[in-house]
Amino acid sequence: MEIDMEEKPPGRPLIKDSDLGNFLKRENIYFKYEGYNPTGTQKDRISENHVKNAIAHGYDTISVATCGNYGASIAYYARKYGLHSVIGIPSDYISARRDEISYYGGEIIEKPVKYEEMVDYIRELSASNGWYDASPGSANSKLDYYSYSAISEEIYNELGRMPEYVSVPVGNGTTMYGVYLGFKRISMKTGEKIPSFIANSTINGNPIIYSFLRGYKKIRELNPDNIQETKINEPLVAYRSYDGQKALNVLYETHGRALYSTDEEMLYISKELERLDRLSVLPASCSAVSGALRVVRDETCVILLTGRN
């Protein structure tokens, strides 16, 4: 399998949709495209920092539970900096990134469990083997928030002001919470209003969307038997969101919105972005596009496209 280990030049640009093909037919919509990261997703922002943190604290192995993208990212940076990586993937997940993880030297562990159960399993393995645990909800999670907060600073610097809305795909809620913290830090310096957040996920199950739409102030886990993973929704679907309470709080604080998308919607938008805007976008990321189209009118909105297809 040929994979270029040479990193692309830095650049996670803010792209005005109307400067491309104007697929969304709005003048006020911007894409924050994370596909230019080395492994093609926003996970590279946290993976490199976790690997460096593991090395700084004397670890020789870093581990993570993943549905694919995060595992590929951890394996990439582990190889780059000379660490061994252990990647846990539910065996029934349809991840296209297993070969890539192996290419980067990642040791793959598969079990016939759901993602949340794989997180628990990897956490136990990490504790018993003395590995650095980079999984969501670990003792190292604060590094995720710090890393993702850079997205907000880049948006603000490129736009020159706060947008009215930011639309984000949510699974665990970690990315959204980190982006919120970045805007909160900017708001404290400038006095500008923090954007309202639009949280978007799969109709097949996500606790953040479920809880907000029902007016719950405390996150509710879903029944695992009602969760339906598909090739399209795997980065989003969850019965437990590890930073769900933090993300839920953000929605209430910023007077945000929460919306579901179907696999068909996400896949359609992904194909249209490729055809009209020449952007390769992971279908799950396109939930944020679907949500923005339903909420935004004349306001400025930045849509976070978290990965390439």
Q: Which residue, chain included where needed, has tokens 């090395």?
A: 55
Joined together, the tokens standing for residue 56 give 């700084």
Tabulate helix, strand, coil % of the chain (nearest 5): 45, 15, 40
Domain span at 220? 14-33+142-305
For residue 257, give the 3-state DSSP assignment: strand
**Quick one: which of 258, 265, 305 has its CA closest to 282?**
305
Per-residue pLDDT of the chain (309 residues; tens, 9 = 90+): 333 333 443 446 788 876 565 677 777 899 999 999 999 999 999 999 999 999 999 999 999 999 889 999 999 999 999 999 999 999 887 666 899 999 999 999 999 999 999 999 999 999 999 999 999 999 999 999 999 999 999 999 999 999 999 999 999 999 999 999 999 999 999 999 999 999 999 999 999 999 999 999 999 999 999 999 899 998 999 999 999 999 999 999 999 999 999 999 999 999 999 988 888 999 999 999 999 999 999 899 999 999 998
The set of residues, in sequence order, having a beta carbon less than 8 Å from that of 258 and lying 6+ positions away, is 198, 199, 200, 201, 208, 209, 212, 213, 251
Q: Is residue 7 part of a domain?
A: no
**Quick one: which of 16, 15, 62, 8 has its CA closest to 40?**
8
175 and 281, same domain (yes or no): yes
Identify whether the C-beta of residue 194 lies closer than 8 Å to the C-beta of residue 179.
no
H/E stretch holding 128: helix 115-129
Q: Is residue 198 part of a domain?
A: yes
216 and 68, same domain (yes or no): no
User: How large is the greatest C-alpha to C-alpha distance in the chain, in angstroms?
Assistant: 54
Q: Is residue 212 part of a domain?
A: yes
CATH number at residue 73: 3.40.50.1100
19 and 92, same domain (yes or no): no
146 and 110, same domain (yes or no): no
Report the residue count for the chain: 309
Q: How many domains are there within the chain?
A: 2
96 vs 49: CA distance, rounded Å: 24
156 and 272, same domain (yes or no): yes
111 vs 109: CA distance, rounded Å: 7
Q: What is the pTM of this model?
A: 0.93
127 vs 117: CA distance, rounded Å: 16
126 and 150, same domain (yes or no): no
Q: Which residue, chain included where needed, has tokens 């490199």?
A: 48
Identify whether the C-beta of residue 233 lies closer than 8 Å to the C-beta of residue 169.
no
